[in-house]
Copies of this chain bind each other. A is one copy, B any other.
């Protein structure tokens, strides 16, 4: 007896939604176009045909450099539908990063949105593998041999999207933001993307009535797999060309947005916007945040605007979210402050993740005592197949089949995991560990503080001492002394910053605070 096996692939999501909801609006594009599921399916099929006509072979990488548009969404289906592997490029990289990633990935075709075409004209001659550049909109003279996207896809003919014969076949490669070292290409499979999408749909209650706002970049872990998950249920994608807080607040109301994802920094922008005070949504709005732990203050403010917040944790290596702070019925009786603290934890594994543990260096579980620190390790079908063409890094990332995240955390008695720090972000002062997150949360709770980051600065006497970098809300007059006092009054004295620097925080293209840069700044600034 042989089990009936059909390869798992997100391509089936679009096929089904196009069959069942052909005239339902799948995407509101940045240009205002309403794209139905039948049209999205047609566009994805046309893209698959065009890629084959351009010589793309199974397994070839196809790069797309684009903001959150219906074209990039269609590429999530059309590229793998041609057997290709989607490389959605971060839109905020420098030229040398683009060159490195495009050449390292061996991308054959590069599709670029017209708004970003300048980057490509500048680096064109450095590309070694790209054979064809396609531009949405007008093709500039500086890109001879390039084609306009519409002409390219209109010219091709063929069988449209074809699913893989093996569900372990790659579907996408996402490059890490490279806070340290060269970016690495994280490979996703059809199976992993399919399963993670179903888990996401269940975790967030996505249905055909869902309206998903694209605040999170689609190039970031394929939008935490929402590009596929929202399509699976026949929901609506609302694309935003630019994430401007006022525009986000208005769009949520206008389009009755039911779901969106945003890093805490984006949420901070929303809750600090002048219009935020008068916002209290009447319809159900669910927000997922991750990439960094939101401060309890941010959580409380988001909730006060009538939105349900869920805190997620994940890595590029885990297709985005793998932990979520699953709400408990008992939390209904918490005070707003208790709730915010409870919800700032990273939580428990999502439905399709088989195992998450916090382990010591011998891969043994640490006790669930809320104190013993270990490393978060993960085992799941939605863990990367590996780093593209980097066997050494791939091997180093796993121990006995468990992905080593490099994040240090404790397990609370209720089983919820809370990150203390990235291994390299722990500050050790006078032999005591200081969690930078803990200090940052106190700083963030002070009215007038927009963002805060704490790093260690080498110190002869103490080994390291904490230094705080703080961005204030416009017009705020909070002083360094007030901030230090706030920490002293709530945490052990040695955890208080020795210095407070008021500044804008340097960030990666995915919105993560570049602590390496802050550490350098702290080091150079010396005592003071």
Chain A residues 321-338 with CB under 8 Å of chain B are: 326, 328-329
Q: Are A381 and B5 in contact (CB under 8 A)?
A: yes
**For residue A383, which residues in chain B have a CB less than 8 angstroms away from its CB?**
4
Q: Is the CB of A168 within 8 A of B3?
A: yes
User: Is residue A51 contacting chain B, with contact meaning CB distance below 8 A?
Assistant: no
Q: A201-B202, A202-B198, A351-B232 are in contact. Are A386 and B2 (CB under 8 A)?
A: yes
Q: What is the CA–CA distance of A51 and B37 in the complex, to the nearest angstrom?
A: 50
> Which chain B positions have C-beta within 8 A of A384?
4
Q: Is A141 an interface residue (CB 8 A)?
A: no
7 examples of A-B residue contacts, CB within 8 angstroms: A12-B354, A16-B348, A19-B415, A21-B328, A22-B415, A198-B351, A208-B329
Known: A1-B391, A6-B354, A8-B381. 16 other contacts (CB 8 A): A1-B388, A2-B386, A4-B379, A4-B380, A4-B385, A4-B401, A5-B168, A6-B381, A16-B349, A24-B329, A198-B199, A198-B202, A198-B352, A201-B202, A202-B232, A208-B329
Q: Is A55 positioned at the interface, with any CB of B under 8 Å from its CB?
A: no
| Size bracket of the A interface | 35 or more
> Are A348 and B19 in contact, CB atoms less than 8 angstroms apart?
yes
**Chain B, residue nearest A380 (CB):** B6
Bits for A199-214, please: 1 = Cβ < 8 Å to B, else 0: 1011001111000000
Q: Which residue of B lies closest to A234 (CB)?
A: B326
In the complex, which residue of chain B has the Cβ closest to the Cβ of A9?
A: B354
Q: Does A271 contact B (CB under 8 A)?
A: no
The 10 closest A-B pairs by CB, nearest first: A1-B386, A3-B168, A6-B354, A4-B383, A3-B385, A198-B198, A20-B348, A3-B189, A1-B385, A6-B381
- A191 at the binding interface (Cβ < 8 Å): yes
Select from chain B the residue with minimum beta-carbon distance to A206. Answer: B202
Flag whether A217 is at the interface (Cβ < 8 A): no
| Residue A290 is within 8 A (CB to CB) of chain B in the complex | no
Decide: B415 and A4 in contact? CB cutoff 8 A.
no
Contacts of A208 in B (CB 8 A): 326, 329
Chain B residues within an 8 Å CB radius of A206: 202
Q: Which of A13, A233, A391, A403 has the most chain B CB atoms closer than 10 A to its own CB?
A: A233
With contacts A12-B354, A202-B201, A232-B351 taken as known, whether A385 is within 8 angstroms of B20 at the C-beta atoms is no
Closest partner residue, chain B, to A191 (CB atom) = B3
Is there a chain B Cβ closer than 8 Å to A187's Cβ? Answer: yes
State in angstroms the CA–CA spacing of A187 and B4 once bound together. Answer: 11
